[in-house]
Structure 1
Amino acid sequence: MESRILAAAIEEFSEHGFAGARVERISRAAGTVDRMLYYYYGNKERLYQAVLEKIYADMIGEQRAFVTSEDPVEGMRQLVLHSWDHYESHPHLVRVLMNENLLRGRHIRQSQQVERTSFPLVETVTALLQAGQARGLFRRDVAPEHVLMTIMSLGFFYLSNQHTCSTWMGGDLMSPARRKAWREHICDVVLSSLAPSAERTAPPARKGGARRRG
């Protein structure tokens, strides 16, 4: 019963947000009555918090299942694909997180479970980056958090803005061909930015200081 309620709540909150979600619709979709939702979760806010905890738990579970390649370049490529595939196959995750950001993270900050969570993806990115740097395959001047944010941003933005971008770009971004092309593009962007040739160098200092005018 509890799992059915949570599954229905994920659909309801992802479709209508926290403010627009209705307990009666959740209970009807779960095949139960309102009082059972209150029995398990106490109130609507706690149910929404449980939804946040569930989608994060699922994401972390898939991150832990990721197998790192011994080749840092291939490992990073597979990690990018793995992250995109999760976002693409879990549209409710994208929508719920969009809503929670509109709420300025009010509910997720109250979750001790999410607060205690250790994201395996952070450790995986760090390990792959360090391995590649040790072999001279990746730049030495890039931070793991920047790599991680790049991977997440390129996947999340595409899916969260698919409707508006499809309109002004004049094409369906969610067509199979476009999604496949973007999947490969993300890999190219991340790996190209990590290539040693992309390592930043400080601009040469000007000799003699600034030239006076007049």
Structure 2
Amino acid sequence: MLKKDSAKDSVAKKPRTKVSPTQRMDDGGPTRRGAPQARSAQLEARILESAVDEFAEHGFSGARIERISQRAETVDRMLYYYYGNKDRLYQAVLEKIYADMIGAQRDFVMPDDPIAGMRELIEHSWDHYVAHPDLVRLLMNENLLRGKYIQESKKVEETSFPLVQTVSVLLAKGQKKGVFRKDVSSEHVLMTIMSLGFFYVSNQYTCSRWIGVDLMTRPRRNKWRAHICEVVLEFLEARERALGPA
């Protein structure tokens, strides 16, 4: 005697779509489908940290996926799983270093005194460059690519940089108190601070060779830190104040 098909059995089952473990990065992505959250976040963080090291060391063109996965103690397909392709992984690296830099800028506590505030801001910016050489190398590489990936990033586009606002506020406070010149712009002040710090770190190897000293020893770094403060603060000093009474 044959059993009648139940209503449940009579419903055609839809085949599940599976992500191929051999999916190539060029196919796009990401392909994430609900891995255990904590473990997944840890692995993604390891991949991103490994990618920062790899892209900083070898640039976009020279970076290799297999080296990133090896360093992150995973397999290549997991990079495809999280980021889809090399371009997206590189963009995520840029977004991470910008996020770290913005986080450091937000940690800056602005003193009431504009001169002290500007000095501390300069030192804060310089210390971040020195402590994060990967940031400098990655930004140099992205400039060689004419800013292609940073321009495509919605995250960076929608982010405001606290340093811009901080410089503007400090400059305005100093101008109001009569201790800073009124004929300078916050843009020039910001670019001066960034240039004097970034150039020193980015060109440390060639400049050390030309000058014949190791520019990155602690005493020399400290002297340059003081030099940046002196250059910027002397530039900002109100002319009447600098000249003294007639």
Match of residue 79 from structure 1: 121
**C-alpha RMSD of the superposition:** 1.0
Which of 167, 190, 193 aligns to 1:125? It is 167
Structure 1 residue 68 corresponds to structure 2 residue 110: yes
Correspondence 1:38 to 2:80: yes
Task: Give 3-state SS (helix, strand or coil) of 1:107's partner.
Answer: helix
Which residue number corresponds to residue 222 of structure 2?
180
3-state SS of 1:138 partner: coil
Pick the aligned partner of 2:213 from 171, 185, 188.
171
- Decide which structure has the larger Cα Rg and report it: 2
Contact 1:192/1:198, CA 8 A, preserved across alignment: no
Tell me if the contact between 1:94 and 1:160 (Cα under 8 Å) persists in the aligned partners.
yes
Match of 1:203 in 2: none
1:93 is aligned to 2:132: no
Distance 2:76 2:136 in 1: 27
Per the alignment, residue 239 of structure 2 pairs with 197
Label 1:90 to 1:131 Cα distance change in 2 as closer, same or farther (>3 A): same
Instruction: Tell me the alpha carbon deviations over residues 161-180 of structure 1, each in whole angstroms, 9 at most, x when there is no partner.
Output: 00000001010101111101
Query: Which segments of structure 1 move beyond 6 Å, counting only runs of 4 or more?
Result: none
Matched, 1:10 2:44: no
AA partner of residue 190 (structure 1): V
Displacement of 1:77 after TM fit? 0.2
Q: Report whether the alignment pairs 1:104 with 2:142.
A: no
Equivalence for 2:90: 48
Are the counterparts in 2 of residues 2 and 40 from structure 1 also a CA contact under 8 Å?
yes
Sequence identity percentage? 68
Provide the C-alpha distance between the structure 2 equivalents of 1:198 and 1:127, rounded to a whole number of angstroms.
22
In the superposition, the TM-score normalised over structure 1's length comes to 0.92
The superposition leaves residues 117-176 of structure 1 with CA deviations (integer Å, 9 ceiling, x where unpaired) of 100001000000000000000000000000000000000000000000000101010111
How far has the Cα of 1:198 moved from its partner? Answer: 8.1
Distance 1:120 1:161 in 2: 26
Q: TM-score, normalised by structure 2?
A: 0.80
- 2:201 is aligned, of 121, 138, 159, to 159
Tell me how far 1:197 sits from its aligned partner: 2.1
The answer to whether the 8 A contact 1:87-1:93 is kept is: yes
Q: Secondary structure at the match of 2:225?
A: helix
The alpha-carbon distance between structure 1 residues 6 and 198, as it changes in their structure 2 partners (threshold 3 A), is: farther
Give the unaligned 5+ runs of structure 2.
Answer: 1-42, 242-246
Which residue number in structure 2 is paired with residue 143 of structure 1?
Answer: 185
Contact 1:72 1:128 in 2 (8 A): yes
Counterpart of 2:203, as a letter, is N
Q: Distance in 2 between matches of 1:57 and 1:196?
A: 35
Unaligned runs of 5+ in 1: 200-214
Please say if residues 9 and 51 of structure 1, whose CA atoms lie closer than 8 Å, have aligned partners that are also in contact: yes
Aligned residues: 199
